Amino acid sequence: MSIPETLLEQLVRPYLARPPRGFRFRRIPTGKFNTSYFVEAGGDYVLRIAPPPDAVFCFYEREMMRQEPGLHALLRKKTSVPVARVVAFDDSHSVIPRDYILMERLPGRPLTEAWDVDTDHVFRQVGRHLAEVHALHADRYGYLGEHRPMEPQPTWADAFHVMWNKLIDDIVAVGYYGDEESAHLRRLLDASIRLFDRPVPASLLHMDIWGQNILVDGSGVVTGIVDWDRALWGDPEIEFAVLDYCGVSVPAFWEGYGRPRDLSPEARLRQVFYLLYELQKYIVIRAGRNHDSASARRYKAQVMEIVRRAFP
């Protein structure tokens, strides 16, 4: 959806001085969830506009932009991770019936567009940055941000149980799991929940690290880690599943991260559940938001094949 420039100007004008030649907006074509623009206004900024409230969401996606200002402030204060300064966040819906955030534009280009850099060098840095992020801890588990998609939980096992079942509810709601399928998937976690009941700290997790969200300069220096709206607090192993899926979990990443991952049989089984959690969201996204039933069916088939092989 393209938004008229006159409306875009109304969104940024309370926070940025209007330059003599006026604001300039350029659509960011890579945004898959928000509608995003580069803004030129005597400096470079990024304007991200959330989907309309009547869009179809996974349970944790609704209003998830609301947690970003606090996370950016925390990361800028407590870590060396390159995160943008937030200029403004507006959820008043007084100008447009959607939340939006305005932040300074970080230098660099997405890793997906940087074919000429040493990716091992990049992934080592990403590993170091994520180690810093995972060292930030909370006293409760789950999606703890201002969007409040769930009640904070006292243990990771409790939190993941809530998350797993809420995501299954979402898939049922878009018509891609029947009663028998959803009950089977719920029983699988119930039978294995003891594997998640261990004293792991509630670490801050990005949950969407892939090439598009890693900015680099011409020398391969990481200049930004972006899109923190999916963040949650919990077991870093669930982040590792996203890294595996997105091709970031390479030896160079682990060199930078500085700690080996658990490869025990118990950890490998947890990784099956964490991968399934990552994959199942795409059923909702493809079916409910992109109206792409063929893609949603492919993701469902992939999920069911993993379940069949892992739990014969």
What are the structural domain ranges in the chain?
5-104, 110-310
What's the whole-model pTM score? 0.96
Going 234 to 240 to 243 to 244, the CA torsion angle's sign is negative
What CA–CA distance (Å, rounded) separates 303 from 118? 33
Distance CA(162)–CA(147), nearest Å, equals: 16
Q: pLDDT tens, position by position, for the chain (312 residues)?
A: 679 999 999 999 999 998 888 999 999 987 778 999 999 988 899 999 999 999 999 999 999 999 999 999 999 999 999 999 999 999 999 999 999 999 999 999 999 999 899 999 999 999 999 999 999 999 999 999 999 999 999 999 999 999 999 999 999 999 999 999 999 999 999 999 999 999 999 999 999 999 999 999 999 999 999 999 999 999 999 999 999 999 999 999 999 999 999 999 999 999 999 999 999 999 999 999 889 999 999 999 999 999 999 998
Q: Which residue has the tokens 């898959």?
A: 32
Task: Give me the amino acid identity at 166.
Answer: K
DSSP state of 72: H
**Which DSSP state fits 40?**
E
Q: Which CATH superfamily is domain 5-104 in?
A: Phosphorylase Kinase; domain 1 (3.30.200.20)
| Structure tokens belonging to residue 95 | 């100008």
Half-sphere CA count of 188, side-chain side, radius 13 A: 23
Helix (H) or strand (E) holding 29: none
Q: What residue type is assigned to position 264 of the chain?
A: S
Superfamily designation of domain 110-310? Aminoglycoside phosphotransferase (APH), C-terminal lobe (3.90.1200.10)
